[in-house]
Amino acid sequence: MHLKCVFILLVLSVVAESCDTETHYMMDEKCCKMCEPGKKVKYRNCEEPLCQECEEGEYQNRYNNMSQCKRQPSCDINLNLEKGSQSKTEYTPCKCIADHHCVNQECVACTRNTICRAGEKISRNGTQMEDLACEACPAGTFSNQESALFCQPWTECSSVSVEINPGSSTSDRICGLNRKLLIVTPVVVIAVLFIIGLSGYFYIKGRTGSISFVRKLQAHVWGNNHILTPTDIVHVENAQEQQPRNQPQEDTEDLLKLDPSLVPGISENGMPVIQDHSKSFLISETETEPESISDHF
């Protein structure tokens, strides 16, 4: 009898040692299975228990033989808390809403992050457990809004502009056109346009005046019926060169009056033309006295 009791105790000790306490439990001297994490026991059976998945807002983070799952924490929006991505296999704490951080390590409530003022930028972003940090904008830069991520550099004035308002940590530099350039530039432009217009006026007037004079002369002599040719012009020029240098201008004018064909006309292109009478001068004549030549003309 004594030996029988010893044998039973040895068997129970062996069974107990072979039962994994993490995934099994002892019941009625038997090693029974537990439900896996994220589930609870719906129907108990030592060898094959019936397990059921935890409801929303519940969890089980280990193997168990419990009929109820654990509750996730309640997140109060009035304390600036919200639910995170909840899991059925592990505890999911509440988290702070955007731009807030926990007031303590337990995160029972959250408070708003510091707001960086204009003229500052964020030097360190906030987290769930830490507030953000601010720092002043460096010289030559500015920020004109709250909680700026970076400071913007001042505008650089160009060579044709001057600084109207200097920049600050909260505002940009304002540039404008140089007032001297605003005065000098229009004056120079007007002067150049005036010179161009005046030159064009005298050019057109001079050309029109020359053509008008020749046309009036032609109308007076031939009534605009005679058209000069380039040969006539050459003849007149040669005739003028052959005249004595000491001959008065009145004699030349008298010669033109006696021979109207020597007066230049106007071509269709506006060029002076005259008829060629060189053949008439090449006709052989008997030698006469100078007085007879003057009588011939």
Whether 286 is covered by a domain: the verdict is no
Q: What is the pLDDT of residues 170-181, one digit of tens each?
A: 999 999 887 666
User: Which secondary structure element, helix H or strand E, spans residue 272, and what is its range?
Assistant: strand 272-273
Give the E-state strand segments of 7-140 in sequence order.
Answer: 24-27, 30-33, 39-43, 50-53, 58-59, 70-71, 81-82, 95-96, 100-102, 110-112, 120-124, 133-136
Highest mean pLDDT among 143-157, 179-193, 222-236: 143-157
Residue 110 burial (CB < 10 Å; 0-12/13-18/19+)? buried
Give the E-state strand segments of 99-166 in sequence order.
Answer: 100-102, 110-112, 120-124, 133-136, 141-142, 152-153, 161-165
Whether 183 shows a pLDDT value over 90: the answer reads no
Task: Record the tokens describing residue 267, joined without a space.
Answer: 């071509």
Whether residues 67 and 128 share a domain: the answer is no
Whether 224 shows a pLDDT value over 60: the answer reads no
Q: What is the pLDDT of residue 17?
A: 55
Are 144 and 117 in contact by the 8 Å Cβ rule? The answer is no
pLDDT band at 118 (very low <50, low <70, confident <90, very high): very high
Question: Which of 8, 37, 71 is the C-terminal boundary of a domain?
Answer: 71
Mean pLDDT of 251-269: 52
| CATH number for position 121 | 2.10.50.10
pTM of the predicted structure, to 2 decimals:
0.46
| Degrees to nearest 5, angle at CA 166 with 164 and 169 | 150
Whether 107 is covered by a domain: the verdict is no
Average pLDDT, the chain: 76
Beta strands at 70-71 and 58-59: parallel, antiparallel or unpaired = antiparallel
Whether 99 is covered by a domain: the verdict is no
Could you tell me which of 244, 243, 236, 242 has the C-alpha nearest to residue 278?
236
297 vs 289: CA distance, rounded Å: 13
Whether residues 173 and 223 share a domain: the answer is no
Taking the alpha carbons at both ends of the chain, their separation in whole angstroms is 186
Domain span at residue 138 reads 113-177
Whether 138 is covered by a domain: the verdict is yes
The answer to whether the Cα torsion of 38, 44, 45, 46 is positive or negative is positive
Whether residues 163 and 227 share a domain: the answer is no
Q: What is the pLDDT of residues 67-117, one digit of tens each?
A: 999 999 999 999 999 998 889 999 999 999 999 999 999 899 999 999 999
Q: What is the pLDDT of residue 16?
A: 47
Q: What is the pLDDT of residue 282?
A: 44
Whether 274 shows a pLDDT value over 60: the answer reads no
Whether residues 129 and 66 share a domain: the answer is no
61 vs 56: CA distance, rounded Å: 14
Residue in the structure block whose two tokens are 């108990």: 44
Whether 162 is covered by a domain: the verdict is yes
Whether 64 shows a pLDDT value over 80: the answer reads yes
Whether 25 shows a pLDDT value over 80: the answer reads yes
Whether 146 is covered by a domain: the verdict is yes
Could you tell me which of 99, 94, 71, 74 has the C-alpha nearest to residue 84?
94
Whether 84 is covered by a domain: the verdict is no
247 vs 241: CA distance, rounded Å: 11
Q: What is the pLDDT of residue 206?
A: 72
Task: Record the tokens describing residue 242, joined without a space.
Answer: 């052959």
- Measured CA to CA in angstroms, residue 218 lies from 211, 221, 277 at distances of 11, 5, 18
Task: Record the tokens describing residue 24, joined without a space.
Answer: 């099994």
173 vs 162: CA distance, rounded Å: 10
Q: What is the pLDDT of residue 257?
A: 52
Which residues are CB-contacts of 53 (< 8 A; sequence separation ≥ 6)? 38, 39, 88
Whether residues 213 and 262 share a domain: the answer is yes
Question: Which of 43, 71, 99 is the C-terminal boundary of a domain?
Answer: 71
Higher pLDDT, 191 or 16: 191
State how many domains the chain has.
3
Whether 4 is covered by a domain: the verdict is no
12 vs 26: CA distance, rounded Å: 11
